[in-house]
């Protein structure tokens, strides 16, 4: 394990006892994720990807094994302790956005802070800044139903950032979006990772896997193999436009026209 590992799991198992059948959704998973890494989790349906992400995200306790998040051993924690850790250290993005319909964009972004007893009046500036970061500075008072799918996912991403989490975990965050909007959301994740955020994304799509530093392939509740990607310097659409503008501004006036 590298010195910078912020997630380390060892021998993680998850068993669902349904009476007549016992489902072994995870059968001894070991994984270590370093600060600043971008990890994609792939694998066939039912291989345990969401189960693993839910455990990494402290949404669900493992049946056995060790889980260190930063310096804390979270595998043995009670539900209350887990939700406190979740609130402080983790950000989530779900396939179905999971926004609250009655709340505005700004209020939805504020929700995790609300649960910590913090008033919107005191954190308004911070929440507005995140709305601008995801390109929704002009939609603060809209409600989820007044937004496109891509915009709703942007709200969910801003909400996941509101606690300045150690890690952002996302379960098929582009699964409900058309491919162009999906690319825009992946560009946003690229920007977050470039600014230092650690990302763990569950995906079915190769386009996500291409962007990640490492792809973890799961099968039947275990990690079948891991592939480290050659680090390709990608340009997001926004960076491409900025680079073009910069180049053009450097050209002599007569070449410009």
Residues forming the site for ligand ATP (CB under 6 A): 16, 18, 23, 25, 43, 45-51
- Among ligand ATP, Mg ion, none, residue 45 binds (CB under 5-8 Å by kind): ligand ATP
Residue found under tokens 């006036």: 253
Q: How far is the CB of 42 from ligand ATP (least distance, A)?
A: 9
Between residues 94 and 151, which has the closer beta carbon with respect to ligand ATP? Answer: 94
- Shortest Å distance, C-beta 53 to ligand ATP: 8
Which residue, 92 or 127, has its beta carbon nearer to ligand ATP? Answer: 92
> 242: which DSSP letter?
H
Stretch that binds Mg ion, among 25-33, 47-55, 140-148, 225-233 (CB under 5 A): 47-55
Q: Which is nearer to ligand ATP, 18 or 121 (CB)?
A: 18
User: Nearest 10 degrees: CA dihedral of 89, 73, 201, 230?
Assistant: 110
Least spacing, CB of residue 49 vs Mg ion, in Å: 5
Judge residue 63's burial from the number of C-beta atoms within 10 Å of its C-beta, 0-12 exposed, 13-18 middle, 19 or more buried. middle
Among 37, 38, 48, 50, binds Mg ion (CB under 5 A): 50
25 binds, among Mg ion, ligand ATP, none (CB under 5 to 8 A by kind): ligand ATP
Does residue 81 sit in helix, strand or coil?
helix
Stretch of 2-10, 44-52, 84-92, 249-257 lying at the interface with Mg ion (CB under 5 A): 44-52
Q: Indicate which of ligand ATP, Mg ion, none lies near residue 182 (CB less than 5 to 8 Å, by partner kind).
A: none
C-beta separation of 218 from 41 below 8 A: yes
Q: Whole-number minimum distance, CB 138 to Mg ion, in Å?
A: 34
Q: Which residues on neighbouring strands pair with residue 91, listed in sequence order?
A: 168
Nearer to Mg ion by C-beta: 54 or 198? 54
Shortest CB 9 distance to ligand ATP, Å: 15
Report the C-alpha gap between 183 and 126 in whole angstroms: 26
* Interaction between residue 174 and Mg ion (CB under 5 A): no
| CA-CA-CA-CA dihedral for 74, 76, 80, 86, to nearest 10 | 20
In the complex, the smallest distance separating the C-beta of residue 35 from ligand ATP, rounded to whole angstroms, is: 25
Burial class from Cβ neighbours inside 10 Å (0-12, 13-18, 19+) for residue 17 reads exposed
The CA–CA distances, whole Å, from 253 to 87, 241, 248, 249, 256 equal 54, 20, 9, 9, 5
Contact 43, 218 (CB under 8 A): yes
Where along the sequence are the contacts to Mg ion (CB under 5 A)?
Answer: 50
């Amino acid at each position: 394990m590298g010195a910078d590992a912020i997630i380390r799991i060892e021998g993680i198992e998850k068993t669902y006892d349904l009476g007549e059948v016992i489902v072994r959704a995870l059968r001894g998973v070991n994984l270590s994720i370093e600060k600043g890494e971008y990890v994609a989790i792939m694998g066939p349906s039912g291989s345990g990807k969401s189960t693993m992400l839910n455990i990494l995200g402290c949404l669900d306790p493992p049946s056995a094994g060790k889980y260190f998040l930063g310096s804390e051993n979270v595998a043995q924690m009670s539900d209350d302790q887990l939700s406190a850790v979740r609130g402080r250290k983790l950000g989530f993005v779900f396939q179905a956005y999971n926004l609250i319909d009655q709340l505005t964009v700004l209020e939805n972004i504020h929700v995790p802070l609300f649960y910590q007893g913090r008033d919107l009046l005191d954190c308004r500036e911070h929440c507005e800044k995140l709305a601008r970061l995801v390109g929704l500075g002009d939609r603060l008072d809209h409600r989820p139903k007044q937004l496109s799918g891509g915009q709703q996912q942007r709200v969910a991403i801003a909400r996941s950032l509101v606690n300045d989490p150690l890690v952002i975990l996302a379960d098929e965050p582009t699964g409900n979006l058309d491919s162009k909007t999906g690319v825009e959301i992946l560009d946003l994740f690229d920007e977050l990772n470039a600014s230092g955020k650690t990302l763990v994304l569950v995906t079915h799509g190769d386009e996500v896997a291409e962007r990640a530093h490492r792809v973890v392939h799961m099968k039947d509740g275990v990690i079948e193999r891991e592939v480290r990607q050659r680090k390709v310097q990608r340009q997001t659409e926004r960076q491409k436009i900025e680079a073009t503008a910069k180049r053009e501004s450097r050209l002599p006036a007569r070449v410009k026209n």
